[in-house]
Amino acid sequence: MSASPEQIRATADSYIAALVAGDLEAVLDLYAENATVEDPVGNGTVHEGKAAIREFYSSVVALKIEGEVIEARVCGDDLLFNFEITTHFDENSKATINVWDLMTHDEQGKVASMRAYWTPENMR
């Protein structure tokens, strides 16, 4: 049985909450064992499997992040959501980015693939 639309929708909030908390294990718990992450889409790098995904996110969650989900849509097993995060690199340096993520979920409701859509023009 597939995950419900409500369970899939909740992934967006859980994902942003985990990034804000700097909780690597909570981020990884959202993903299936053989999941893929492409962030950003088109850069030529696809992180495949939990070990590669852990390596990718370990540097992300080490930063101080603020974030919010702006909009989310569930279609079947797909979750498309728009969010903004502000990353604080130090007390005088930060960047805000607007991103659309497409997460496809497996039968257990885990993220099987994540593709992040953004370019430098989406940063301020």
Determine whether 31 is an active site residue: no
From the candidates 13, 23, 39, 106, which is the catalytic residue? 39
- The 3 state secondary structure assigned to the chain is CCCCHHHHHHHHHHHHHHHHHCCHHHHHHCEEEEEEEECCCCCCCCEECHHHHHHHHHHHHCCEEEEEEEEEEEECCEEEEEEEEEEEEECCEEEEEEEEEEEEECCCCCEEEEEEECCHHHEC
From the candidates 15, 31, 57, 101, which is the catalytic residue? 15
Determine whether 57 is an active site residue: no
Catalytic residue annotation: 15, 39
